[in-house]
Amino acid sequence: MNAPLRIAGIETRHFVLPLSHPMTDATHGVHTEFEVVAVCLESDCGRSGIGYTYTIGRGGAAIRSLIQRDIKTLLLGADASRIEQIWERMWRCLHYVGRGGLVAFAMSAVDTALWDLLARSQGQPLWKLLGGYSGQARAYAGGIDLQLGPDELVEQTRCNLAAGFRAIKIKVGRDKLSEDIARLRAVRDFLGPDLPLMVDANMRWTTEQAIRAARSFRDYDVYWLEEPTIPDDYAGLRRIAREGGLPIAAGENLRTIYEFRHTLEAGIAFAEPDVSNIGGITNWLRVARLAYAHNLPVTSHGVHELHLQLLAAIPNPSLLEVHSFGLERFIKNPPQLKDGIMRAGDEPGHGVQFEWDKLREFEVKGG
């Protein structure tokens, strides 16, 4: 019998990272920076695991505090290989102040570190440990680009195709629907009929507005319409899916498998759990299995370095989102794209190795 993999140490670090240029969407406005909260777990036998979550500029200090002040005491001395047990313990001890929100972000970082530690201790890449289905994922360029006009979008798309992408997503949700239509038309005309083109409204519309927009977009062979309205409006999602005539993707703002159950039953076509905010890999896999039971594929939101491992592991993957909140500048050997495909590799763990020296100038001390 193998000895328990006891957790002996926990370190949490908080960084505020600048974006390469300002970016916009319909709900959050202009983005200029994002936060990363990283967790390093040390076992009693000297092995380590890294996990992290991110925000779009606010909340990182609170997430770090939750981990250091409340979750840390639940972890020290625990057997790191009993991940389901640890997940349930975190959830039950913190649900009264959470059931989502900051708690889900904090749990995501810790849970990811646990899976990384387990995979490293077994000498396996995470995607093989989790199922080992394909070892790769089809990637798309997820623009955060509501500010761009048609010509600028075409130029951005040209650059993305040159970089190896074979699927594109743009933001929609301008004040005038005619402007969204013009932007979408320009990109579809440039792409031609064969490459997937998605649009993302970031919860911008009411149900009626979303139905009207969806109907207006149908002539442009939209692969999916993402987050057309608030995630809590299951009846509205059902109407948009039924009356709008486009496949719906949703889930980046859901925090529990129970919310996903209602969303899938509302008729969405693509489940979109985010490993950085749904409670980590443990809960992400639950959603993937739930989607499988509904005969539906799973896509991703953000942190493509981690989601690559997850989509490469499961039998029902859709496209992997890659956008400008990536960590390529701050990690060793970031995943490479070739002809629309990213491969997960065979390095033990999830493969994300931070270059701490490059991150140091952006670290938030204290807290």
Domain CATH number, residue 273: 3.20.20.120
**Catalytic choice (14, 128, 169, 301):** 301
154 and 286 in a common domain: yes
In a domain, 367, yes or no: no
In a domain, 224, yes or no: yes
179 and 67 in a common domain: no
Give the torsion through C-alpha atoms of 199, 182, 157, 274, to 10 deg.
-10
In a domain, 256, yes or no: yes
322 and 229 in a common domain: yes
pLDDT at 21: 84
pLDDT at 325: 82
135 and 108 in a common domain: no
Closest by CA position to 67, among listed 81, 53, 79: 53
Q: Would you say residue 1 has pLDDT above 60?
A: no
Whether residue 169 contacts residue 143, with contact meaning beta carbons closer than 8 Å, is answered with yes
State mean pLDDT over 129-155.
Answer: 97
pLDDT at 259: 97
State mean pLDDT over 354-362.
Answer: 97
Q: Would you say residue 274 has pLDDT above 60?
A: yes
87 and 187 in a common domain: no
Q: 41-84 pLDDT, tens per residue?
A: 999 999 999 999 999 999 999 999 999 999 999 999 999 999 99
- Predicted TM-score (pTM) of this structure: 0.96
313 and 221 in a common domain: yes
pLDDT at 240: 98
Domain CATH number, residue 52: 3.30.390.10
Give the torsion through C-alpha atoms of 233, 234, 239, 242, to 10 deg.
140
104 and 169 in a common domain: no
pLDDT at 162: 98
247 and 134 in a common domain: yes
**Catalytic choice (171, 304, 323, 350):** 171
pLDDT at 207: 98
Angle 341-344-36 from CA coordinates, rounded to 5°: 100
Whether residue 267 contacts residue 286, with contact meaning beta carbons closer than 8 Å, is answered with no
CA distance 49 to 11: 11
pLDDT at 219: 97
Q: Would you say residue 98 has pLDDT above 90?
A: no
Cα–Cα distances (Å) from 303 to 45, 137, 152, 213, 295, in that order, read 29, 14, 25, 29, 25
CA distance 335 to 134: 15
Q: 16-44 pLDDT, tens per residue?
A: 999 888 888 878 889 899 999 999 999 99
Query: What confidence category does residue 323 fall into, taking pLDDT thresholds of 50, 70 and 90?
Result: confident
State mean pLDDT over 184-188.
Answer: 98
Whether residue 4 contacts residue 81, with contact meaning beta carbons closer than 8 Å, is answered with yes
In a domain, 1, yes or no: no
Least confident of 145-149, 243-247, 324-328, 355-359: 324-328
345 and 310 in a common domain: yes
In a domain, 154, yes or no: yes
Q: How do beta strands 353-354 and 320-322 pair?
A: unpaired
Single-letter amino acid code for the residue at 278: I
| 301 included as an active-site residue | yes
168 and 114 in a common domain: no
> Concatenated DSSP letters for 298-320?
B---S-HHHHHHHHTTSSSB-PE
pLDDT at 357: 96
Closest by CA position to 222, among listed 245, 240, 200, 198: 198
Query: What confidence category does residue 367 fall into, taking pLDDT thresholds of 50, 70 and 90?
Result: low
In a domain, 212, yes or no: yes
In a domain, 17, yes or no: yes
3-class secondary structure, 250: strand
240 and 204 in a common domain: yes
CA atoms within 13 A on the CB side of 219: 9
Query: What confidence category does residue 3 fall into, taking pLDDT thresholds of 50, 70 and 90?
Result: confident
Tell me how many domains the chain contains: 2
Range of the domain at 210: 127-354
3-class secondary structure, 21: strand
147 and 85 in a common domain: no
Whether residue 226 contacts residue 196, with contact meaning beta carbons closer than 8 Å, is answered with no
Q: Would you say residue 114 has pLDDT above 80?
A: yes
In a domain, 188, yes or no: yes
| 171 included as an active-site residue | yes
State mean pLDDT over 82-91.
Answer: 97
